[in-house]
């Protein structure tokens, strides 16, 4: 503990060297106040734009950092009391090569685009992102500094164009492709944002343009790999006149209906209500929410897996403001809240203090368990759980904070006995940036559980991470301690009973040429003990990542070491290769292959041999038609060249046809030969804007009977309609 205190004092002392703590005043834009709103039609012909502030000094980040762009970009910025207005004039020497498709909102991944990052609290921690492609299709989301969406080994652009697209906001945009390139106009309502309730406003802002076929990422202000952080490099936008900080009220009634073989067609009504108590404090309420899976989860192989599979959150109520609840340990894994009756959430930020409060009543809760104790789980449809999460986070200088989180899950066999059992988790966490390129994060937790009158002791857990990132060198050191009786019933932990040390060192070569942009070799070492001080894992991993021509990337990895399972030591090695490329606007493909020793996880485990391969291909024969194919193969053998234990093939297809910006058709087919299971899904979508939607879908699942004949149960039919009122 004394060591931690000394480290903390040293970090606070080093804050005086924090880079750009007040923002980049040398990149300051003061937009012109418009007398009336410009028409958002994509033509850029309104004379108001002639009076707007202009930005045209974009600089390359990829492929050649600091170089001049191959194409000219001009941005015009203005505002009034209600909206921020931006117009992009994107010149292109070969307009026929512009990559643009007509597709659903938030489904643009491989097109040319422009993006606006708005750090409305100017705290270098989070930014709202608004992105539009040359067809006017919108993407929006939230970028969280240090949230794992910066540079990485993944395919595609290697800059900062990574953000969580699950957040949706209302804004206007239109685009037109012409003989000189394309133009985009945007109107972003201040009601769609959160910002301080003060008279004067100065935000962080980053503007970005992607030219996919050239691997070009252009930024204003310029971005540098020498600086550890993205939002710390933002420019400043200052509004000289007051903007509307009035309260925002949103009402969204929802009507859903589902029919299956076991269930008659019975409509159900729900309600979502949002109240902006101020421009920086939002209350959300939902009653009888619809959490039907409009967008199905991607198929994952679940055979011979030691740990649980992870599924991302897609439900709107839990997505709104979820960055407030993020900590190094995932204590709030909302997919574990299965069937909420109602939910209430309060989130916001005031004078550097972020506040989050979440309360949910779940009618289908997962049972609370006490490891190594013979206690029956709750059963029956009458079980209820009352879940409360309180989060407080205080900013400390630029890019640093201290936080507190408390999670309480009360559960009982009925509503009247809901406080019979409980699981409570509390702890502190922090993130510090010091000496420019170094970051330190930590979390201390304690948990206590009661099930059927039996209580546990206070069980602690610890996470610690130290990292350094420079232009060429990446280093990280991570330590986690999770006791075997640690219980976080609404969290996600792949494994308990570990004391894990993980360190990684990587170097970045930057040829920054057309065919090879970066070369990133790295080595990673992992060592894990259980709480009996028995070595359970001892592994080293060597990897190489190369990015280059037209979003092509090549990644290979070789790992070797020890894994202990059921008190048996297994020594194994495996090799993986991944290749991704987008050579043309109509073609994108990813191919992977792996082989090596692997454990067969059972009561009598043994060391066998596995092979796997997959291919994912996206085709766009028309600008409004996309075809996605996914082939996966996984095989396991008792030994190399020996008897095959199992073979899994998954074949899936997704066809999307976009009739207009609002209307679309989608067809999914999927076959898993291990389970002899076939899935078919058809969806008609009308999406006027986020929250105002109509869906009609038909799902059909088939499986083989004992005679090998496909069963033909009746299809399930579902309908959803919701309307979004903004007051």
How confident is the model over 249-262, as a mean pLDDT? 86
Which pLDDT value is given to residue 591?
97
For residue 379 the two structure tokens come to 């059963």
Asked whether 183 and 42 are in contact (CB, 8 A), the reply is yes
Which pLDDT value is given to residue 419?
85
Which pLDDT value is given to residue 453?
80
pLDDT of 695 over the 60 cut: yes
Handedness of CA 30, 36, 42, 44 (dihedral sign): negative
Nearest to residue 496, comparing CAs of 470, 525, 450, 531? 531
595 CB-side CA count, 13 A: 5
Beta pairing partners, 181: 91, 178
Across 219-233, 321-335, 352-366, the highest mean pLDDT is recorded for: 219-233
Would you call 2 helix, strand, or coil by DSSP? helix
pLDDT of 8 over the 70 cut: no
Residue 518: pLDDT band with limits 50, 70, 90: very high
State how far the Cα of 145 lies from the Cα of 20, in Å rounded to an integer.
15
pLDDT of 148 over the 50 cut: no
DSSP code, position 93: S
State how far the Cα of 570 lies from the Cα of 560, in Å rounded to an integer.
11
Listing DSSP states for 44-69 in one string gives: ---GGGGGSEEE---EEEESSTTPPP
CATH code, domain carrying 181: 2.60.40.1190
Across 65-79, 285-299, 313-327, 487-501, the highest mean pLDDT is recorded for: 65-79
Which pLDDT value is given to residue 435?
85
Which pLDDT value is given to residue 399?
83
Nearest to residue 690, comparing CAs of 84, 272, 235? 272
Q: Which domain holds residue 201?
A: 23-239
Which pLDDT value is given to residue 146?
73
Residue 657 lies in a domain: no
Number of domains in the chain: 1
Residue 250 lies in a domain: no
pLDDT of 37 over the 90 cut: yes
Residue 154: pLDDT band with limits 50, 70, 90: very low
Residue 444 lies in a domain: no
How confident is the model over 259-275, as a mean pLDDT? 84
For residue 183 the two structure tokens come to 């133009």
**Could you tell me if residue 512 is left (phi over 0), alpha (psi between -120 and 50 degrees) or otherwise beta?**
left
**For residue 417, which phi and psi values (nearest 5 degrees)?**
-115, 30
Q: Flag the least confident range among 225-229, 356-360, 411-415, 577-581.
A: 411-415
Which pLDDT value is given to residue 703?
66
pLDDT digits (tens, 9 = 90+) for 386-417: 999 999 999 987 789 999 999 999 988 777 77
pLDDT of 221 over the 90 cut: yes
Residue 456: pLDDT band with limits 50, 70, 90: confident
Which pLDDT value is given to residue 91?
97
302 CB-side CA count, 13 A: 9
709 CB-contact burial (10 Å; exposed 0-12 / middle 13-18 / buried 19+): exposed
For the chain, the C-alpha Rg in angstroms (whole number) is 26
Q: Quick one: what percent of the chain has pLDDT higher than 70? A: 89
Which pLDDT value is given to residue 420?
84
Which pLDDT value is given to residue 321?
78
Residue 148 lies in a domain: yes
Asked whether 648 and 634 are in contact (CB, 8 A), the reply is yes
State how far the Cα of 581 lies from the Cα of 553, in Å rounded to an integer.
6
Residue 19: pLDDT band with limits 50, 70, 90: very low
Which pLDDT value is given to residue 158?
38
For the chain, give the mean pLDDT.
87
Angle, CA 109 vertex, CA 103 and CA 114 arms, to 5°: 90
H/E stretch holding 357 = strand 353-362
Task: Say which residues have a Cβ less than 8 Å from residue 351's Cβ, sequence separation at least 6.
Answer: 196
Long-range contacts of 48-53 (CB under 8 A, 24+ apart): 48/78, 49/76, 49/78, 49/87, 51/78, 52/76, 52/77, 52/78, 52/85, 52/87, 53/29, 53/77, 53/78
Which pLDDT value is given to residue 163?
81
Residue 428 lies in a domain: no
DSSP code, position 715: P
State how far the Cα of 294 lies from the Cα of 687, in Å rounded to an integer.
12
pLDDT digits (tens, 9 = 90+) for 589-648: 999 999 999 999 999 999 999 999 999 999 999 999 999 999 999 999 999 999 999 999
Nearest to residue 467, comparing CAs of 510, 429, 506, 409? 506
State how far the Cα of 156 lies from the Cα of 142, in Å rounded to an integer.
19
Residue 327 lies in a domain: no
Across 78-92, 157-171, 704-718, the highest mean pLDDT is recorded for: 78-92
State how far the Cα of 476 lies from the Cα of 400, in Å rounded to an integer.
18
Which pLDDT value is given to residue 147?
57
Asked whether 77 and 55 are in contact (CB, 8 A), the reply is yes
How confident is the model over 198-214, as a mean pLDDT? 92
Handedness of CA 329, 335, 337, 341 (dihedral sign): positive
**For residue 2, which phi and psi values (nearest 5 degrees)?**
-60, -35
H/E stretch holding 5 = helix 2-14
Task: Say which residues have a Cβ less than 8 Å from residue 68's Cβ, sequence separation at least 6.
Answer: 59, 60
Residue 667: pLDDT band with limits 50, 70, 90: very high
Residue 73 lies in a domain: yes
Residue 201 lies in a domain: yes
């Amino acid at each position: 503990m004394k060591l931690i205190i000394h480290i903390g004092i040293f970090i606070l002392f080093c804050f005086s060297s924090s880079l750009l703590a007040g923002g980049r005043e040398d990149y300051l834009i003061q937009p012109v106040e418009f007398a009336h709103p410009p028409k958002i039609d994509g033509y850029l012909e309104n004379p108001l734009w002639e009076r707007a502030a202009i930005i045209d000094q974009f600089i390359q980040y990829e492929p050649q950092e600091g170089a001049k762009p191959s194409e000219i970009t001009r941005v015009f910025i203005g505002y009034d009391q209600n909206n921020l207005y931006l117009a992009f004039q994107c010149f292109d020497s070969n307009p026929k090569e512009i990559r643009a498709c007509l597709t659903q909102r938030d489904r643009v991944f491989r097109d040319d685009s422009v993006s606006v990052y708005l750090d409305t609290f100017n705290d270098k921690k989070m930014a709202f992102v608004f992105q539009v492609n040359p067809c006017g299709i919108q993407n929006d989301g939230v970028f969280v500094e240090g949230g794992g969406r910066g540079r990485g080994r993944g395919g595609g652009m290697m800059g900062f164009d990574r953000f969580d697209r699950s957040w949706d906001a209302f804004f206007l945009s239109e685009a037109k492709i012409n003989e000189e390139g394309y133009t985009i106009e945007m109107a972003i309502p201040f009601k769609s944002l959160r910002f301080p309730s003060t008279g004067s406003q100065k935000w962080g802002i980053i503007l970005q343009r992607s030219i996919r076929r050239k691997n070009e990422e252009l930024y204003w202000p310029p971005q540098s790999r020498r600086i550890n952080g993205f939002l710390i490099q933002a420019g400043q936008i200052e509004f000289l006149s007051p903007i509307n900080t009035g309260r925002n009220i949103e009402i969204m009634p929802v009507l859903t209906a589902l029919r299956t073989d076991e269930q008659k067609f019975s409509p159900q009504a729900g309600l979502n209500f949002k109240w902006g108590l101020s421009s920086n404090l939002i209350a959300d309420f939902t009653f009888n929410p619809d959490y039907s899976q409009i967008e199905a989860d991607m198929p994952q192989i679940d055979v011979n897996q030691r740990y649980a599979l992870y599924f991302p959150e897609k439900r709107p109520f839990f997505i709104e403001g979820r960055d407030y609840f993020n900590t190094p340990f995932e204590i709030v894994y909302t997919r574990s809240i299965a069937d909420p009756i109602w939910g209430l959430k309060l989130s916001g930020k005031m004078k550097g203090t972020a506040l989050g409060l979440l309360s949910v009543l779940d009618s289908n809760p997962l049972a609370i368990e006490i490891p190594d104790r013979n206690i029956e789980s709750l059963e029956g449809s009458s079980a209820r759980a009352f879940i409360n999460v309180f989060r407080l986070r205080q900013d400390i200088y630029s890019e640093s904070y201290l936080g507190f989180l408390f999670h309480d899950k009360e559960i009982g066999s009925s509503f009247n006995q809901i406080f019979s059992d409980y699981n409570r988790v509390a702890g502190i966490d922090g993130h510090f940036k010091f000496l420019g390129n170094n970051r330190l994060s930590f979390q201390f937790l304690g948990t206590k559980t009661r099930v059927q009158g039996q209580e546990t002791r206070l069980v602690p857990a610890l996470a610690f991470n130290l990292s350094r990132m420079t232009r060429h060198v990446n280093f990280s050191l991570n330590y986690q301690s999770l006791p075997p009786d640690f219980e976080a019933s609404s969290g996600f932990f792949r494994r308990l009973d570990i004391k894990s040390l993980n360190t990684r060192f990587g170097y970045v070569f930057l040829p920054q040429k057309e065919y090879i942009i970066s070369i990133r070799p790295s080595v990673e070492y992992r060592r894990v003990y259980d709480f009996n001080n028995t070595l359970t894992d001892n592994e080293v991993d060597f990897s190489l990542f190369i990015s280059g021509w037209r979003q092509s990337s090549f990644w290979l990895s070789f790992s070797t070491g020890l894994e202990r399972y059921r008190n048996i030591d297994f020594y194994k090695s495996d090799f993986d290769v991944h290749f991704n490329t987008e050579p043309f606007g109509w073609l994108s493909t990813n191919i992977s292959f792996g082989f090596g020793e692997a454990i067969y996880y059972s009561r009598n485990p043994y060391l066998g041999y596995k092979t796997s391969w997959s291919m994912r291909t996206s085709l766009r024969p028309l600008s409004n038609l996309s075809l996605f194919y996914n082939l996966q193969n996984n095989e396991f053998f008792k030994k190399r060249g020996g008897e095959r234990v199992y073979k899994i093939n998954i074949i899936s297809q997704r066809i999307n046809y976009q009739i207009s910006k609002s209307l679309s058709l989608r067809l999914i087919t999927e076959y898993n030969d291990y389970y002899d299971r076939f899935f078919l899904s058809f969806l008609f979508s009308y999406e006027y804007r986020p929250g105002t939607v109509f869906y009609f879908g038909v799902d059909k699942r088939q499986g083989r009977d004992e005679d090998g004949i496909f069963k033909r149960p009746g299809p399930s039919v579902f309908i959803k309609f919701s309307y979004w009122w903004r007051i």
